Structure 1
Amino acid sequence: MTPTITAFNWVPDFARGFVRDIRARWAFEEIGRPYAVDLVDGKSIKLPAHRRFQPFGQIPTYRDDGVAIFESGAIALRIAEEGGGLLPDDPEGRMRAIQWVIAALNSVEPYVMQLAVVDVFEADRPWSAERRPQVIADLEERLADLQQALGERTWIDGGDFTVGDLMLISVLGGLRGTGVLDGFPQLAAYVARGEDRPAHRKAMADHLADLADAPVAA
């Protein structure tokens, strides 16, 4: 079967360009492999049929002839294994790329998401404004660590672009429009390089096109 991912058929304007199906789409475009997209709505992913596969009621999910999995990091790694270019051939380089996928999701993304919580998802709560300075301080501390790790390198491991870069840049892309990266010029340039790759531009365009063609939510 053609590898298939799930993606939303509609999201609010603030979420367009940020939903995690972009990570899978980008990985497919990097390896040059065709894939299919099963567009779903926000209600169907909470139903038992979807939860039996994805217990948290989220997207994306992924299926091919060999596996059926969820979580964007696992999906990106599966796609990287199926095609050349995103995982180095040598064992040490391969594990470092995987290391950065896990670091992006475990050590960076939680800090990025806390900013989204106070600025978007809980912006109307009385504690959000009071909590925001500490959220920014914690995020900036983590970004400073990451910028130091990147240094002057083009990509995080100093060699070719890998699935580790794909995941880090996808996570940092969650700061798009916030101005936070303005204080971290090396990281800002790193994200810009990644998002300017033809594979990312194609993935983003397809993501936005699917949302543009979808029916307006009731």
Structure 2
Amino acid sequence: MPIDPNAEIEITAFAWVPPFAEGLVRDLRPRWALEEIGLPYRVQLLEGERSPEYYLEQPFGQVPCYREGPLKIFETGAIIQHIGEKSEKLLPRDAIARIRAIQWTYAALNSVEPAIQNLTAIDLFYKGEEWAALRRPGAEEFARLKLKRIADWLGDKEWLEDHFTIGDLMMASVLRIARHTDLVAEQANLKAYLARAEARPAFQRALADQIAVFKAHQPEGAEA
């Protein structure tokens, strides 16, 4: 629970990814949100090439897609906000607190994730290329600046606002992308913030479920 093959809510996920991507694929985000509010869901696994029908639902061929009755959503920011609307545990009902939580999901996706993803692409996909070596110092400094802005805002607070919300769920998910670096650890309060998020039982359950799928579908001869 809440994984249930008979659940109304369904998300798509990859059956397997290489080890460097384990725990970072974006279906982890709705898994985590649904675990936080105890809402059951089922998973449709994708293997190999995406079908033409899938592109009609997810124009970029990525995961996750979120399905709930006639509703279909393909962007994690929209998915997480929709899930958040189901429970005050993730999205406050007070109008001001609600929009402030939502703004942090936008900040995570628009202000922070592009900088971290840019550095990650250089490090993991273009390592060894001359242009990447030249670009990396600037990319690292830009990502470091974004992380310092979050750390400065956070100060000694436990969460970005008064309590854990979809904003924290999304921000922590984005910060985890930098796990191959020491950038988050450079800011002690940011390191502690991420550790608090990852220690949440709902996150641990969601992560374990995602990793279990990858292990079960690991191709013969693939790196463990």
When normalised by structure 2's length, the TM-score is 0.92
CA distance in 2, matches of 1:34, 1:71: 20
Please name the residue that 2:150 is paired with.
146
Q: Secondary structure at the match of 1:43?
A: coil
Q: Does 1:211 align with 2:214?
A: yes
Structure 1 moving runs of 4+ over 3 Å: none
Structure 2, unpaired ranges of 5+: 1-6
2-structure distance, mates of 1:194, 1:215: 28
Against the structure 1 CA distance between its residues 117 and 26, is the aligned structure 2 distance closer, same or farther, given a 3 Å change threshold? Answer: same
Distance (whole Å) between structure 2 residues aligned to residue 98 and residue 178 of structure 1:
28
Choose between structure 1 and 2: higher helix proportion: 1
1:128-158 Cα shifts (integer Å, max 9, x gaps): 111111111111111111111111100001x
Deviation at 1:125, TM superposition (A): 2.4
Counterpart in the other structure of 1:89: 93
| Residue 198 (structure 2) aligns with | 195
Are 1:174 and 2:180 an aligned pair? Answer: no
**Fraction of identical pairs, as percent:** 46
Task: Indicate the larger mover: 195-204 or 57-66.
Answer: 57-66
Post-superposition offset of 1:177? 3.1
From 133, 136, 142, the equivalent of 2:137 is 133
With normalisation by structure 1, the TM-score equals: 0.95
Report the count of equivalent residues: 215
Equivalent position of 1:21 in the other structure: 27
Preserved CA contact (<8 Å) 1:33 1:83? no
2:115 aligns to what? Answer: 111
Task: Tell me the SS of whatever aligns to 1:7.
Answer: strand
- Secondary structure at the aligned position of 1:19 is classed as coil
Q: CA RMSD in A?
A: 1.4
In 2, the alpha carbon distance for the partners of 1:207 and 1:42 equals 18
Contact 1:23–1:76 (8 Å) recurs in 2: yes
Q: What code does the residue aligned with 1:71 have?
A: E
SS in 2 for 1:4: strand
Change (3 A) 1:124 1:77: same
Q: What is the distance in 1 between the residues matched to 2:88 and 2:74?
A: 21
Distance apart, 1:66 and its partner CA: 4.5
Contact 1:8 1:42 in 2 (8 A): no
Q: Which residue in 2 is equivalent to 1:185?
A: 188
Unaligned runs of 5+ in 1: none
Displacement, 1:215?
A: 4.6
- 2:3 is matched with none
CA distance in 2, matches of 1:128, 1:151: 33
TM-superposed CA distance for 1:42, in Å, is 4.2
SS of the equivalent of 2:66 reads strand
